[in-house]
Structure 1
Amino acid sequence: MSEIILQNLLSPVVLFFILGIIAAIFKSDLKFPSGLSEALSIYLLIAIGIKGGIELSHYSIESVIAPIAGALFIGIIIPIITLLILKLIKMDFKNSIGLAATYGSISIVTYGAAISFLDKSGISYEGFMNAIVVLMESPAILVSLLLLKIVENKDNPSSLPTQSMGLVHSSGSLINKEVIRESLFGKSILLLVGSLVIGLILGERAVPMVKPLFMDLYNSVLILFLLNMGLIAGQRLPEVKKHGLKLLLFGLLTPLLFGSLGVLVGSVVGLSLGGTTLMGVLAGSASYIAAPAALKTSVPEANPSIYLGLSLGVTFPFNLIIGIPVYYEIAKWIQ
């Protein structure tokens, strides 16, 4: 185990992430132009989506139905477990919803780093796992917001017609179309789904055109992106410390709990060692793109420094350095 953690720690993507954290801690003037940061995000989303679509074209629907069901189960159950844990540590409900959506959704970059780890270790995995990423992005966000509305309406049923947040529209209908639009058609999901569908339609015919940019250069671009993420994570660390040891432990321990659950589900639905590891990585990761975008307008009372600080400042580096090899070892043990 220690050798695998050391191997992952000494990989270029992790070392450049650590370099970014060091730069932030010591207040270096190093920074990425906002346009470049946005371009790197778009690149990674398209690369993962189109590779997943091409690989998915090789499989029949019968072979992927069980992993899809497992992914949806994880997306539904993790927000519920998160709310139960946060109730025990007496976190207020709005911030609990924020964390439930964040930790129930997934980190596309953590997944990308896990792919790099498996490729470097020579471990194969199912190509349709890139499609599973898309499926696990939204369910937890929708489940969390639905739970919020159920509790709010139970506590104050007379306010139903005037609610304008979350899943309840100002007209009194159950579903707020704006929240659904943000959850399903936000930048990350739109690019992932769109590029995946394009890859699925074109199959191997797309490879000659997309390989030079979206396959051959993937790991190099990931290094640049993680350097930038290290800068952002380092800036978020002080915000996490403001909220005490309990939240810090939550950001460190729940990835192991949810990652183990993901590994177990991956094994039950028949994934390979690599696929099971990736299912654990997805379950153990936390969103800092899709979920915060939805929470910003749907649950404005939730404090971004809590759900973003934990996901980006604690859970993301933990998974990058320790979590990925740990999920791999758990997958090996289960299988």
Structure 2
Amino acid sequence: MIDLGASLLSPAVLCFVLGAAAHGLRSDLRLPDAMFSVLSAYLMLAIGLKGGAALAATPFAAFVGPAAGALALGCAIPVWTYALLRRLGGFSAADAAAVAAHYGSVSAVTFAAVIDGLGRAGVGFEGYAAALLALLEAPAILIALALGGLGGARGGAGHGGTEGALGRVLAEVATGKSVVLLVGGLAIGALVGPSGLGPVKPFFVDLFPGVLCLFLLDLGRVAAERARDFRAAGPWLALFAVLAPVVHGALGVLVAYGTGMSQGGAVVLGTLAASASYIAAPAAVRLALPEANPGLYLTASLAITFPFNIVFGIALYAAMARLVYG
């Protein structure tokens, strides 16, 4: 199982740290935007293809319980996150909804990091985990933005009020690059099955860890750049951005245990629950809640929670799973 020492010394984590250090040293290290876009597309499609092929070989009865548990988490997390930020944090409806959308949704790159770590540690997990990732991508965003509308946020009302804004958000999320590649990859993988995936395995499976390292190298730089907005987030939100993933990760592990997933699967679901979106959610929030402060939701999700999960969190959720599974 993954431990903290192995996690800290993994190539993916060290590449992330290198990217952050390069920014601190004012290096000109930076991947071209076009290359960053290609790498992100590769990761989404590779995750989808592998997950779809595994899903094709999974009995429906074995998938339905974990899927229902994951979906329940994805719907509940934005509700209590929004309430907490409104009541204890004193956030406006728009800012609370924006942060809740990010923390209810998931980070596909954090998912890629945990499956890479489990693979290096030789720990098995349910191959259909990518389908859980797809299930968790959108519902939380829609729920959080609906709460923001009910709480008095303008919600980009323009034409049609909150309902019109949510409709536009649904279209934005459903047609976004990450969702199209992930869901499309799942469908292709399910259609061709494990044997059909064989011809492209050297590219989409064997090269996956190396591509992840390159992607995290640049994300380390991006996270370090966002860290300059730490003051805008404030100490309360910074504390939330560290404690929320710990609580959500523990809940994910417990849900996995209760729905019959393996110990490795519990690490994956715990990591998914603990992660925060910084790709799909920002685009939806900018569309539906233009008055929300990006210095809050982007700094919390990308500059605090993402590095915490990559460097420490995955090992922590693995330790939680060991404790629960005995």
TM norm. shorter chain > 0.5 = yes
Would you say the 8 A contact 2:229–2:295 is kept in 1? yes
Give the distance between the partners of 1:90 and 1:99, measured in 2 at CA.
Answer: 13
TM-score for both structures, normalised by structure 2:
0.95
Aligned twin of 2:305: 315
Deviation at 1:241, TM superposition (A): 2.8
For 1:219, the equivalent position in structure 2 comes to 209
Query: How has the CA–CA distance of structure 1 residues 236 and 171 changed in structure 2, closer, same or farther, with 3 Å as cutoff?
Result: closer
Alignment partner, residue 159 of structure 1: none
Are 1:29 and 2:54 counterparts? Answer: no
Aligned sequence identity (%)? 42
Could you tell me whether the CA contact under 8 Å between 1:106 and 1:285 is conserved in 2? yes
Q: 2:239 aligns with which of 227, 235, 249?
A: 249
The Cα shift of 1:245 comes to 1.3
Are 1:287 and 2:286 counterparts?
no
Structure 1: runs of 5+ lacking an equivalent: 154-162
Counterpart AA for 1:241: R
Given that 1:54 and 1:203 are in contact with CA atoms closer than 8 Å, whether structure 2 keeps it comes out as yes
In structure 1, the partner of 2:257 is: 267
Distance 1:321 1:273 in 2: 20
Amino acid aligned to 2:3: I
Which of the numbers 147, 153, 170 marks the counterpart of 2:159? 170
Q: For the residues of structure 2 that align with 1:93 and 1:178, how far apart are their CA atoms?
A: 19
Kindly tell me: are residues 268 and 228 of structure 1, through their superposed partners in 2, closer, same or farther at Cα, counting changes over 3 Å? same
Task: Output the TM-score relative to the length of structure 1.
Answer: 0.93
CA deviation digits over 1:87-140, x for unaligned, max 9?
202122211111000010001011111011111111100011111110000010
Q: CA deviation at 1:150?
A: 2.2
Q: Is the 8 A contact 1:142 1:183 kept in 2?
A: no
Contact 2:233–2:300 (8 Å) recurs in 1: no
Structure 2 residue identity aligned to 1:73:
A
2:149 touches 2:162 (CA, 8 Å); kept in 1? Answer: no
Deviations 1:143-181 (A, max 9, x none): 01111222239xxxxxxxxx7x45x67246835432111
Which of 305, 309, 314 matches 1:324? 314
- Which residue in the other structure is 1:160 paired with? none
Instruction: Please say which of residues 204-213 and 277-286 is displaced more in the overlay.
Output: 204-213
Structure 1 equivalent of residue 53 of structure 2 = 54
How many residue pairs get matched? Answer: 323
Q: Determine the structure 1 residue equivalent to 2:194.
A: 204
Query: What secondary structure does 1:271 align onto?
Result: coil
* Secondary structure, aligned partner of 1:235: helix
State the match for 1:6 in structure 2.
5
Distance in 1 of aligned mates of 2:282 and 2:139: 14
Counterpart-to-counterpart distance in 1, 2:15 and 2:96: 32
Contact 2:78 2:101 in 1 (8 A): yes
1:192 counterpart = 2:171: no
The yes-or-no answer on 1:90 pairing with 2:90 is: yes
The CA distance in 1 between the partners of 2:303 and 2:104, in whole Å, is 17
Q: Distance in 2 between matches of 1:170 and 1:46?
A: 35
3-state secondary structure, aligned to 2:137: coil
Contact kept in structure 1, 2:101 and 2:144, CA below 8 Å: yes
Q: Who is 1:70 aligned against?
A: 69
Question: Secondary structure of the residue that 2:183 maps to in structure 1?
Answer: helix
| Matched AA of 1:250 | F
> Are 1:300 and 2:290 matched, yes or no?
yes
- 8 Å contact kept, 2:256–2:269: yes
Q: SS in structure 1 opposite 2:290?
A: coil
- RMSD over aligned CA atoms reads 1.7
Matched, 1:125 2:125: yes
Change (3 A) 1:89 1:174: closer
| C-alpha distance in structure 1 between counterparts of 2:73 and 2:241, whole Å | 18
Higher mean alpha-carbon deviation, 266-275 vs 207-216, is at: 207-216
Output one character per residue of 1:197-229: Cα deviation in whole Å (capped at 9) or x when no partner: 011011124222220110010000000000000
| Residue of structure 1 in register with 2:78 after alignment | 79
Cα separation, 1, equivalents of 2:158 and 2:130? 33
Matched with 2:104 is: 104
Contact 2:271 2:317 (8 Å CA) reproduced: yes
Counterpart code for 1:29: D
Residues 52 and 127 in structure 1, CA contact (< 8 A), matched pair in contact too = yes
CA distance in 1, matches of 2:194, 2:265: 22
